[in-house]
Amino acid sequence: MLDLQRLRYFVAVAEEENVGRAAERLHLTQSPLSRQIQSLEADLGLALFHRAKKRLRLTAAGRQFLVEARSLLAHGERVEQQARAIAAGSAGALVIGYVPGAIHAGVVTRWLRAFRVVAPDVDIMLKKLRSAEQERQLRSGEIDIGFAQARPALGAGVSSRAICRESFKLAVPAHRYGRAAPTARNLHGARFIALPGTAAAGHKDEFFAACAAAGFEPDVRYEAADPLAALEMVDAGLGLAIVQASLERIKPAGVTLVDLPPGFDWTMAIHLLCGEPCTPVAARFFGLDVGVE
């Protein structure tokens, strides 16, 4: 196998056509450099230089070998730079899991935009996953980063940061309610569409407790796959839904978002997750200072 260091010695001698000058350039003494060139020729079974007094001229084989040596050294330099970039977290690949709520809240966009500034060469893939599945895939190494609604349990092998907290609104059919907010009495026993976050075991009790504190008990008849699907079901007249306030900008025209009754004290949190241990590129993403909303 060719030694890249010996190739550097060969290129220096070929360019200087003199061992003494090449040795000065390489910060070596002449004797070790001469031995390295002789050893290279012996290993290759080729005469790379014509030797005439103090001057060395490349043979035909030496000229051809010089082209290949320069190409190999350039490739080696690129590989070394890439390895340094990966170690620094500025190159490589990143697989990111997310819940739809993180997309609608705009936090995924903010983090991706900030990360693109510091690491523009990283390849990124997004995967839509529920919070529990994100935790599992972080532990198994299938994803590197997660945007989840649920904070992982202590000792789960996953680090977390709360990066967003958003209030909820009540989604109602515009033709029935207009922009008037229903009272708690109106909502008691009304048909509701549950979102994945409120239907999950970790949030279901909190959801019903918040409704009870506001003076009503919803009759949950349906579950939507994501917030946009819930809004479409509201538009179709299947029921009401409690959704994050940021959906105002993308809701269907037939749906109005109104305030919930006083006492509904529940917000949606988004947590940034990272597996332990993590790759340099994941650590760099997790450590971004994008701010908390």
Confidence class for position 154, pLDDT limits 50, 70, 90: low
Q: What is the reported pLDDT for 113?
A: 94
Q: Does the CA dihedral 28-31-32-35 come out positive or negative?
A: positive
Show me where the domains of the chain are located: 4-87, 92-293
Confidence class for position 86, pLDDT limits 50, 70, 90: low
Q: What is the reported pLDDT for 121?
A: 86
Mean residue pLDDT of the chain comes to 87
- pLDDT, tens digit, 9 for 90 and up, residues 23-72: 889 898 888 888 988 998 888 888 999 888 778 899 999 899 989 988 98
Q: What is the reported pLDDT for 201?
A: 47
Tally of residues, the chain: 293
Confidence class for position 227, pLDDT limits 50, 70, 90: confident
Tell which wins on pLDDT, 110 or 84: 110
CATH topology of domain 4-87: Arc Repressor Mutant, subunit A (1.10.10)
Tell which wins on pLDDT, 126 or 290: 126
- Nearest alpha carbon to residue 124 among 149, 101, 147, 153: 147
- pLDDT, tens digit, 9 for 90 and up, residues 168-222: 999 999 887 777 788 999 999 999 998 765 544 457 788 899 999 999 999 998 9
Q: What is the reported pLDDT for 199?
A: 45
Q: What is the reported pLDDT for 90?
A: 64
Question: Is the predicted pLDDT of residue 136 greater than 60, yes or no?
Answer: yes
Q: What is the reported pLDDT for 190?
A: 93
pTM here?
0.68
Task: Return the structure tokens found at 202.
Answer: 């970790």
Instruction: Judge whether 4-87 and 92-293 match in fold.
Output: no
Q: In CATH, what number does 92-293 get? A: 3.40.190.290
Rounded Cα distance, 79 and 76, in Å = 5
Tell which wins on pLDDT, 86 or 111: 111
Q: What is the reported pLDDT for 276?
A: 85
